[in-house]
Amino acid sequence: MAQASGMDGRQGTLPLAGAHNSQRDAKRLRELRELLHKAAHAYYVLDRPIMADEIYDQLYQELLDLERQYPEWITPDSPTQRVGGAPSQEFLSIAHPTPLYSLDNAFDPADMQSWQDRWQKLWPGELPADLYICELKIDGLALNLFYEQGMLVWAATRGDGVTGEEITANVRTIRTIPLRLQTSQPPAQVEIRGEAFLPQPVFLQLNQERQERGEPAFANPRNAAAGTLRQLDPRIVAQRRLDFFAYGVGSGLDLTSQQETLKLLSQWGFRTNSHSQVCPDLSAVQKYYQIWDKKRQELPYGTDGVAVKINALAMQAELGFTQKSPRWAIAWKFPAETGVATVVGVTVQVGRTGVLTPVAALTPVRLAGTQVTRATLHNAQRIDELNLHIGDRVVVRKAGDIIPEVVQVLGELRPGDAPAYYLPSHCPECGEPVVQTEQEAATRCVNRRCPGIVREQINHWASRDALDIRGLGGKAAQKLVSLGWVTTVADLYDLTEARLASLERWGAKSAANLITALDQSRQQSWPRVLYGLGVRHVGAGTAALLATHFPSATAVQAASLEELCAIVGIGPEIAQAVQVWFADAENQALLARLQQAGLQLSHDPVAPTTGTLSGKILVLTGSLPNLTRPQAKALIERAGGKVGASVTSRTAYVVVGAEAGAKLERAVALGVPLLSEAELVALAGEG
């Protein structure tokens, strides 16, 4: 007999070959287990997913169906018998006092009806009017928080449901997780369950910053949240502004319903999702599901389905658990935001800093309500990781407003004659050799006269956050560059209405409108001009910050590396990029031409009489990682605030650093909001 050995030594018997279709099914079962084990290890332990969630769900369901058909084949090491993956070895392991279970998945009304039929067989009693409660299933990382006498003692990831990774220092940086429960009569011990997540705007900004540094983007907010909480430096976690929704407790509280649990969690100071709803039956559940399937893109956080739970805790206790899931709850997943398409070709886009971005041309696939025919491949390193061939069947992902990307190649479906794809060694726009340094994953064209670079620089210069030049960009920029009329943004201000009107399909009105828009751009502020110059790593916020400290291009050019780094929010990488750009002779010539054209390359900064901290009293305690006390005090005062000597009921915030003392304890006792250095900088509008 063929044997499949379990992790604890027990064995499940697989059939002899030739018994009907069982040999084929047994082979498939082994394949599925191996695939799912690899995928789970990559996802939970390595934080490097190798398989889209929807593909995993399909394979898992196939394995589950096989094991239901052949229950004698089930072994203890089957993925269906596990709650989750092993914790990372980089953190200490900690045992959960009560296990954390994962939810089974439903994908359509028939699945929901089957789930209801299963649990109703075990419940002979009457059904309450408030039978179900629906909650949005947040796309993040499950956490277990342990409190003693109301104080947070430790925090851990779900891990395998029995043992998790102890990440208390990182969790303490999440401001929606209270360090002390807001109650005068806390339980002696209590576990709080919830989901840590990265808000969508923060996620998009984080990915933009990573791409500007030539680093691979996070695949989705959940991976970003997981990667953040596994950082060994809590300061990095604090800067990424994670959020948290609490949704449950471990055990031991005298509560009657999940609805009451959510209310109590809110009273204790936790953030709970405001969109939960009690439903009397599956028909009402389906209406809730349909509403949020349409509205979920409006939310500032990711959600991949609806968690449907029996509301009464007594019923939950009676129904209990299977080995891996509660019988009284299920996750009704939203339609897939991934799909499978065929790669029919690859084009390479050249960005304003010369970065080459490969983009796969695809057979049409519908994702998140739109038809997708193109998806980014990020860079040469990502292409190598994917082992991409033209003609491959690939998994494509699109979450929210994120650009579609290829996340997996289905190598087993590759045609035999499919050629491998490699990023070109020469720029597709200008034909010059491209370069790649060891410091970054990006491949670049370094020819500053490259038409692709110039075109994207014009698009950036004309963008809304920069000079906001209506009618310039896209096809107009392409035309002006292809004719050779514009080789730098300064050439735009040499254009005349008559010359533009001579272009095919332009006409007098279009030409006049563009000249008017160019004239208006001369009045845009110095911070906007600085952003429009396209200095590497300098976004709109950083440009405004630089302009606050250096009121002219001349002042920026004269600034030393030390002076640049002294600004809160300007790190060595940004400072060096700024210094290199302003020291370049051609860039200095560009600035001279822009000044001659009437652009605003300076301003007179006025000290604000009001600001984001106007009228507020802040108290400092402990040693901040980057700011000295005088620097922090000046930062607060620039934003209109005042620094207090002691914590009182009038204190708006307490800024907490390392080795904080009695002021922190006083702040916690009074319920005064706490800020990290990074949050202070952001709140003051200087980061």
Is residue 608 domain-resident?
no
- Residue-level pLDDT at 77: 62
Is residue 586 domain-resident?
yes
Residue 424: which domain range? 339-435
Average pLDDT over residues 243-255: 88
Among 333, 352, 380, the domain-final residue is: 333
| Same domain (yes/no): 347, 464 | no
| Same domain (yes/no): 107, 239 | yes
CA distance 25 to 303: 35
In the chain, the number of structural domains is: 5
Residue of 199, 30, 270, 340 whose CA lies nearest to 207: 199
* Higher pLDDT, residue 439 or 143: 143
**137 part of the active site:** yes
Q: How much of the chain exceeds pLDDT 90, in percent?
A: 41
Find out whether 445 is annotated in a ligand binding site.
Answer: yes
* Higher pLDDT, residue 402 or 524: 524
Q: How much of the chain exceeds pLDDT 70, in percent?
A: 89
CA distance 330 to 60: 16
| Same domain (yes/no): 297, 399 | no
Average pLDDT over residues 615-628: 83
* Higher pLDDT, residue 502 or 437: 502
Is residue 443 domain-resident?
no
User: Which CATH number covers residue 384?
Assistant: 2.40.50.140
Is residue 605 domain-resident?
no
Find out whether 309 is annotated in a ligand binding site.
Answer: yes
| Same domain (yes/no): 140, 200 | yes
Six-digit token pair at 381?
A: 């390193």
Find out whether 102 is annotated in a ligand binding site.
Answer: yes
Identify the band that residue 400 occupies on the pLDDT scale cut at 50, 70 and 90.
very low
| Same domain (yes/no): 285, 142 | yes
* Higher pLDDT, residue 45 or 230: 230
Find out whether 427 is annotated in a ligand binding site.
Answer: yes
Is pLDDT above 80 for 115? Answer: yes
Residue of 344, 393, 335 whose CA lies nearest to 369: 335
| Same domain (yes/no): 272, 320 | yes
User: Which CATH number covers residue 72?
Assistant: 1.10.287.610
- Residue-level pLDDT at 88: 47
Helix axes 475-482, 451-461, angle to 10 degrees: 140
- pTM for the predicted model, two decimal places: 0.49
Identify the band that residue 108 occupies on the pLDDT scale cut at 50, 70 and 90.
confident
| Same domain (yes/no): 224, 289 | yes
The single-letter DSSP state of residue 486 is -
What are the tens digits of pLDDT across the range 274-317? Answer: 999 999 999 999 999 999 998 888 888 888 899 999 999 999 99
What H or E segment, with its residue span, contains residue 308?
strand 303-310
How big is the CA angle at 96 (ends 91 and 102), to the nearest 5 degrees?
A: 95
Contact 198, 225 (CB under 8 A): yes
Contact 144, 101 (CB under 8 A): no
| Same domain (yes/no): 396, 513 | no
What is the distance, to the nearest Å, from the Cα of residue 573 to the centroid of all Cα atoms in its chain? 22
| Same domain (yes/no): 284, 147 | yes
Find out whether 450 is annotated in a ligand binding site.
Answer: yes
Which phi and psi (to 5°) does residue 287 adopt?
-65, -45
Of 137, 398, 616, 663, the catalytic one is 137
CA distance 273 to 289: 15
Is pLDDT above 60 for 649? Answer: yes
Find out whether 53 is annotated in a ligand binding site.
Answer: yes
Within 196-251, where are the H helices?
Answer: 200-212, 221-229, 234-239
Is residue 321 domain-resident?
yes
CA distance 593 to 491: 9
- Residue-level pLDDT at 15: 44
CA distance 521 to 675: 39
Is pLDDT above 70 for 623? Answer: yes
- Residue-level pLDDT at 230: 75
What are the tens digits of pLDDT across the range 328-361? Answer: 999 998 876 778 899 999 999 998 889 999 999 9
CA distance 496 to 506: 13
Mean pLDDT of the chain: 84
Q: How many CB atoms lie within 10 A of CB 148?
A: 13
Average pLDDT over residues 79-87: 55
Is residue 86 domain-resident?
no
| Same domain (yes/no): 270, 318 | yes
- Residue-level pLDDT at 9: 32
What are the tens digits of pLDDT across the range 361-379? Answer: 999 987 765 678 999 998 8
Is pLDDT above 80 for 589? Answer: yes
Contact 345, 406 (CB under 8 A): no
Find out whether 279 is annotated in a ligand binding site.
Answer: no
* Higher pLDDT, residue 143 or 626: 143
Six-digit token pair at 487?
A: 């080789």
Identify the band that residue 438 occupies on the pLDDT scale cut at 50, 70 and 90.
confident
Stretch among 20-24, 383-387, 503-507 having the lowest mean pLDDT: 20-24
Is residue 603 domain-resident?
no
What H or E segment, with its residue span, contains residue 125?
none
Among 435, 461, 492, the domain-final residue is: 435
| Same domain (yes/no): 329, 358 | no
- Mention every residue, 6+ apart, whose C-beta is less than 8 A from residue 260: none
At residue 618, what is the residue type?
L
Find out whether 103 is annotated in a ligand binding site.
Answer: yes
- Residue-level pLDDT at 272: 93
3-state secondary structure of 426: strand
Is residue 88 domain-resident?
no
- Residue-level pLDDT at 2: 30
| Same domain (yes/no): 131, 272 | yes
Is pLDDT above 80 for 536? Answer: yes
Find out whether 430 is annotated in a ligand binding site.
Answer: yes
Which range among 23-32, 79-88, 426-435 has the greatest average pLDDT?
426-435
User: Which CATH number covers residue 124?
Assistant: 3.30.470.30
Among 408, 435, 462, the domain-final residue is: 435
- Dmax (CA) of the chain: 88
Is pLDDT above 60 for 5? Answer: no
User: Which CATH number covers residue 537?
Assistant: 1.10.150.20
Find out whether 134 is annotated in a ligand binding site.
Answer: no
User: Which CATH number covers residue 632?
Assistant: 3.40.50.10190
